[in-house]
Amino acid sequence: MFSTEIKVLLQFCAGRLCCIFEGGLAKLCTWLGITTLVYYRRIVKSEENGAGETPTTPTPTSVNYHFTRQCNYTCGFCFHTAKTSFVLPIEEAKTGLRMLKDSGMEKINFSGGEPFLYQRGDFLGKLVQFCKQELRLPSVSIVSNGSLITEKWFQKYGEYLDILAVSCDSFQEETNALIGRRQGKKSHLDNLHRVRSWCSEYRVAFKVNSVINTFNVKEDMRDQIRELNPVRWKVFQCLVIDGENAGEDALREAEKFVITDEEFQDFLDRHSEITCLVPESNQKMRDSYLILDEYMRFLDCREGRKDPSKSILDVGVENAIQFSGFDEKMFLKRGGKYVWSKADMRLEW
């Protein structure tokens, strides 16, 4: 049996060698544990930055948990598509959420797919209640297309939810249909306004998310946004992710939705008077979000695809987050941390 000192030395040496001969030393690295590679890569990053010492582990202050990939819409630019139907058992999901809280998580955002699709929103509601009531997180939020939300859900779980974001890319039904943000003949805009009124009634902060693309880049949304009066209007530039909405194995073809940086800036300039507007270019989006997939793996988007870490349930948050590609400085620079608890917003309901 090796002493602790010898094993630590072997871990360090194997980490160096693994980077050079990763394939041949895979078994050794597995025996020594995932922390070998994590430790090595953190050393390399420190040396490249000239820091001279190992950087600290990023804190998962705000986490986006895509617990399901299934959706009832067919948005052509979707970058988290229905490649699986897997959903963690709720007790395992709660275990992972508690681990994230213990590692410093202050805000959880539930997304999909469409998070209200699974078990008609009851699974989501139970997680929302758990995070607010038991974990006592300052902020619990949801991103949804709004089509499956019911007033009954608000009556049961609304008190535990801080922010509800509804995705809406256009205020013209024809454009929404071209994008794929519609189910059958149901009006996406009617759903949007219905959910907006429930948010006011049940004291949930309302937010709008819009993806700017070739079909809506010329649209003027100022009057409609003023009418909805969201606490935040998050405006994203259409993003291409290999394997999700581009490439041979992708379920979507987002290339026809892509706009230039100049077109995106023109849209922002047209809406610059909207005080709640929060713009996010591709550069800001790609590595400033902590994305957790349905297996509770962090997804690294830096190379234009989603490379998963190991699950936090298997290796812990600290090990997994090293492979997330998360840029904590960009997260703060883009305003990722804001007044996100409805108790602190002082809203007039």
| Residue ranges per structural domain of the chain | 62-334
Q: What is the mean pLDDT of residues 265-275?
A: 98
Query: What pLDDT, on the 0 to 100 scale, is given for residue 302?
Result: 86
Q: Are strands 307-311 and 107-111 parallel, antiparallel or unpaired?
A: unpaired
∠ CA 22-25-28, rounded to 5°:
130
Q: What is the mean pLDDT of residues 125-146?
A: 98
Q: Name the average pLDDT for the chain.
A: 87
* Tokens, residue 290: 């902590």
| Contact (CB, 8 A) for 161 and 140 | yes
The Cα diameter of the chain in Å comes to 72
Q: Write out the E strands in 176-295.
A: 205-212, 232-237, 277-280, 291-292
Query: What pLDDT, on the 0 to 100 scale, is given for residue 180?
Result: 95
Query: What pLDDT, on the 0 to 100 scale, is given for residue 41?
Result: 41
- 113 upstream amide cis, omega within 30 of 0: yes
Active site residue 71: yes
Under the banding of pLDDT at 50, 70 and 90, the label for residue 114 is very high
Query: What pLDDT, on the 0 to 100 scale, is given for residue 55?
Result: 56
Lowest pLDDT segment from 106-110, 159-163, 172-176, 247-251: 247-251
Annotated catalytic residue within 75, 131, 199, 301 = 75
Residue-wise pLDDT for 137-163, tens only, equals 999 999 999 999 999 999 999 999 999
Residue-wise pLDDT for 190-239, tens only, equals 999 999 999 999 999 999 999 999 999 999 999 999 999 999 999 999 99
Does the structure show a pLDDT above 70 at 344? yes
Top pLDDT among 4 and 100 is at 100
**Long-range CB contacts (within 8 A, 24+) of 119-127:** 120/148, 121/148, 121/149, 121/150, 121/153, 123/67, 123/87, 123/90, 124/67, 125/153, 125/156, 125/157, 126/90, 127/67, 127/90, 127/93, 127/94, 127/97
How many Å apart are CA 340 and CA 345, to the nearest integer? 8
Does the structure show a pLDDT above 50 at 345? yes
HSE at residue 2, side-chain half, CA atoms within 13 A, is 10
Does the structure show a pLDDT above 60 at 25? no
Closest CA to 66 of 77, 54, 78, 52: 78
Query: What pLDDT, on the 0 to 100 scale, is given for residue 346?
Result: 81
How many Å apart are CA 69 and CA 167, to the nearest integer? 16
Query: What's 147's DSSP letter?
Result: S
Does the structure show a pLDDT above 90 at 122? yes
Annotated catalytic residue within 18, 19, 29, 71 = 71
Annotated catalytic residue within 18, 78, 168, 199 = 78
Which residues does residue 5 pair with via DSSP β-bridges, in sequence order?
none
Residue-wise pLDDT for 33-77, tens only, equals 433 333 334 334 434 444 444 557 899 999 999 999 999 999 999
Active site residue 131: no
* Tokens, residue 65: 């948990």
| Coil, strand or helix at 154 | helix
Name the CATH superfamily housing domain 62-334. Answer: Aldolase class I (3.20.20.70)
Active site residue 78: yes
Does the structure show a pLDDT above 60 at 87? yes
Query: What pLDDT, on the 0 to 100 scale, is given for residue 56?
Result: 76
Does the structure show a pLDDT above 90 at 13? no
